[in-house]
Amino acid sequence: MLKIELLIDARADLGEGPLWDVDEQRLYWIDSLGSKVHRCDASGGDRRHWDVPDHIGSMALRTRGGAIVSLRDGFYTLDLDTGACARIADTNSDEPKIRLNDGKVDRQGRFLAGSMDYGESDPLASLWRLDADHSVHKLEDGIICSNGPCWSADGKTFYFADSYTRSISAYDYDTATGAISNKRTFCSFPDAGLRGFPDGATVDAEDHVWSVEVYAGRLVRFDPDGRLDRVVQLPVDYATSLIFGGPDLDIAYVTSMARTVPGRGAPLEQEAGGLFAVHGLGVTGLPEPRFGG
């Protein structure tokens, strides 16, 4: 039976980037504009948070310990013992209108993260890949708002959204080099009858793509051919991202935002900005890899 619970009434300004780590059995997530990394257990207990020195778009754990984070102007390490951040690669320190946003680690341990225009109107942003040797590679540009990077179960298809195209793109992904090619439209939200925008995304164990339909407050699932397969209504319209976690990887953890969005206003629900747990979806997720550097 489907059950949606408010796990943490966080009132996050911009909750994003949930990450379930199988080894730790812990959930990490961020408040992008609140400049915080949060952690809790599967039931929302054992909480801890870390402050970071700038707006944060995404994070991943490292194989050698600690985390990698995408802050406004580049990639940083985060020492989870001391809370110290150290920059390892610059992406856009000379461009105050953009910041790094959503990111994830591929099956080979590389971290891909895209940037976004703060005004969410101009195609100033790019998609970046950070390799284990800390080298940085630009994969694409001309993006307004990067969101939802994730991979097919075999790692050979990369999914990515520029939210303001209202579609999710698919690319061939070279698992040996991390190169992307053969960009095509995987799914169009308007064509599927969806009124919102694609935000955070993940792929389940059945190789279906789940996306959060921001401003419509729904989880939407697409089959491997890009056909809309399922829609799940959430308690808040300003939901942002999801990940499967819990001991059996069968709980969908969903973040949301409490901030007022220009042109859209403040969220109406008291639970906006909360962290939610969706039980009973009948599917499981895939373990998230750690960054190799």
Return the active site residues: 199
CA 221/CA 227 separation, integer angstroms: 8
C-alpha triplet 223, 226, 231: angle, nearest 5°: 60
CB 30 within 8 A of CB 56: yes
**204 among the known binding-site residues?**
no
**16 among the known binding-site residues?**
yes
**5 among the known binding-site residues?**
no
C-alpha triplet 215, 68, 276: angle, nearest 5°: 35
Calculate the CA dihedral of residues 109, 48, 14, 207 and round it to 10 degrees: 40
Distances (CA, A) of 171 to 161, 167, 182: 11, 13, 5
Number of other CB atoms surrounding residue 224 within 10 Å:
16
CB 3 within 8 A of CB 279: yes
**199 among the known binding-site residues?**
yes
Paired residues of 105 in beta bridges: 111
Distances (CA, A) of 181 to 64, 66, 146, 157, 266: 30, 32, 17, 10, 39
CB 111 within 8 A of CB 119: no
**99 among the known binding-site residues?**
yes
- Cβ neighbors of 236 (< 8 A, separation 6 or more) are 217, 256, 267, 269, 271, 272, 274, 276
Residue numbers in the known binding site for substrate are 99, 101
* Residue ranges of the binding site for a divalent metal cation: 16, 147, 199
Residues within the annotated binding site? 16, 99, 101, 147, 199
